[in-house]
Amino acid sequence: MTVDQWGPGVLVRADGSGGYTAWTAQRIAPAPGLAEHRAYTGLGEEQRRIETEAAELAWLSGLCRPGGRFELRCTGGPADPVRAVLLTRADAPTPAAAVAAAKDVVGVLPAHVTGEPADVEVELTALTADGSPPAAVDLREIRKRIDVRTIARPSSPRRQAAIAAPLAPSGRSWELLWTELARQPVPTALSVALEPVQLLPEAGLLFHQFAELYARLAAPVDGSPLWQGARRGDPAAEAGRDFFDDAIRRYLGPVFRLRITLAAAGPLPPGLAQLAADQVGGAVLTPEPSERGLSWRNFTTLALDPLPLTHRPPVDQGDWGDVEQELSGLVDRQEAAAAFRLPYEFTGRAVRLFERSAPGPLPPRSAPSGPLPGLSPLL
C-alpha cells in the first residue's frame, strides 16, 4: 500500500486490532493578497483580526460533529519561518473508509488561509526534517486552570471542590506568540488538537447529580440566636454548584475534547509555554516522568489520551474522579476558537512568520503496514 494510492498528504496504517487509521496533512498559510480585498480595505487591523476570529468560530462550529480529530500544529525553529500544518485523523474498519473519513474531518478552509498537501510522517513528528525521532524532547501540556477550594461545612461528603476555569481569548494578537515560536533555537511545535464529541446521556445525569450535591452544601444554614439569623452556605460549595450548572449549559451538546502540547527538540524556555497559556487563559503542566511517553505518543499520533497523574490537581483522592477529569478537558465552540487560531495576516507584518507552501512535490512513500507506532524509546 502506498501513500500515492490515496493521493498526496495522506497516510494509512493498520491499528493493530483489525482496523485502520488514516491521517491527512495540509501546509497552511495566510491567504496572499487578502489585505487588498475590498471587503477589508476599510477595516482597521483590530477589526480585521475580529473578522478572522468570527470566520474561524463559524468554521469550527460546522466541524463540531462526532467523528475524527484534527489538529493545528505550528512549528518554529532556527533560521526558518513558522510552519503551520492542519492534520486530521480518522479510524475505520477499512483503509478506504478511514481515508474518506479523514479527508472529511475539516471540510473547506476559511477564506483567509490556503492549504497544500504536506508529508504526513514528517508533520506528525514535526521536530525533525525527515520524521525520525528527535534525540531529545521537552514537553509541556497546557490545560484549563483548576481552582481547588476547601469545603468547610461539617459532615460534607466532599472536602474539596475542583473547579476548571473555561478557556477565554486574551484579546491580544497571536503575532507575539508566533514570533517567539519562530525565534526558538531548536525546532519547537505548538500543537492544538480537537476531537468533536457528544457526551452520553449518563454524563448529563452525573452533572446534574453533582450540581444538586453542591447546591445542598451551598444552601444557607437555619439561623440561631448566636448567628442573628440564617448563615450563608459554604462558599466553596457555591463555586462547585456554579461550576456544574455552567457545565450543564456548555457541555451537554456537541463539544470538543482539547489537547494543547508544546514540544521541542531541546529544552523549552520557561516563558514560551506561559505565553501560550496566557494567550488562551490556561495553565502550564509538565508531564509526570511516567507519562512523558504517553504525552509524546499523543503528539505523534494525534491522540488525546488523558494523562491522569499530570492533569490531576493537588486534591484529595475522593474529590477528583472521572467526571472532573472529563470536564477539565472539554471545551465548547467559543473555548475551542480561543485556542485554535489559524494563521492570519492583513498588514504584511506576518508575511515572514509563516511558510507560504510546501517545498516542492511530495515524494512517493510506502506506508507501513504494521500497527501504530509505540512510545518513543527516547523518553
Q: What is the 3-state secondary structure (H, E, C) of the chain?
A: CEHHHHCCCEEEEECCCCCEEEEEEEEEEECCCHHHCCCCCCCCHHHHHHHHHHHHHHHHHHHCCCCCEEEEEEEEECCEEEEEEEEEEEEECCHHHHHHHHHCCCCCCCCCEEEEECCHHHHHHCCCCCCCCCCCCEEEEEEECEEEEECCCCCCCCCEEEEECCCCCCCCCCHHHHHHHHCCCCCEEEEEEEEEEECCHHHHHHHHHHHHHHHHHHCCEEEECCCCEEECCCHHHHHHHHHHHHHHHHHCCEEEEEEEEEEECCCCCHHHHHHHHHHHCEEEECCCHHHHHHHHHHHHHCCCCCCHHHHCCCCCHHHCCHHHHHHHCEECHHHHHHHCCCCCCCCCHHHHHECCCCCCCCCCCECCCCCCCCCCCCC
* Spatial CB neighbours of 358, under 8 Å, sequence gap ≥ 6: 27, 116, 117, 118, 119
Q: What is the pLDDT of residue 86?
A: 97
Q: Is 237 within a domain? A: no
Q: Is 63 within a domain? A: yes
| CB contact at 8 A, 164 and 315 | no
Residues pairing with 90 in the sheet: 22
> 118 to each of 69, 133, 162, how far by Cα in Å?
17, 18, 41
pTM above 0.85, yes or no: yes
pLDDT 10s per residue in the chain (379 long)?
A: 444 577 889 999 998 889 999 999 999 988 876 555 555 556 666 777 788 889 999 999 999 988 899 999 999 988 678 999 999 999 999 999 999 999 999 999 998 899 999 999 999 999 998 889 999 999 999 999 999 999 988 778 889 999 999 999 888 888 899 999 999 999 999 999 999 999 999 999 999 999 999 999 988 876 555 555 556 678 999 999 999 999 999 999 999 999 999 999 999 998 999 999 999 999 999 999 999 999 999 999 999 999 999 999 999 888 898 899 999 999 999 999 999 999 876 565 544 577 765 444 443 443 343 443 433 333 3
**What is the rounded distance in angstroms from the CA atom of residue 19 to the CA atom of residue 92?**
6
| CB contact at 8 A, 66 and 254 | yes
Q: Is 135 within a domain? A: yes
Q: Is 87 within a domain? A: yes
Domain count across the chain: 1
Q: Is 229 within a domain? A: no
Domain around 171:
3-199+253-353
Q: Is 232 within a domain? A: no
Q: Is 372 within a domain? A: no
Q: Is 189 within a domain? A: yes
* Spatial CB neighbours of 273, under 8 Å, sequence gap ≥ 6: 140, 142, 262, 284
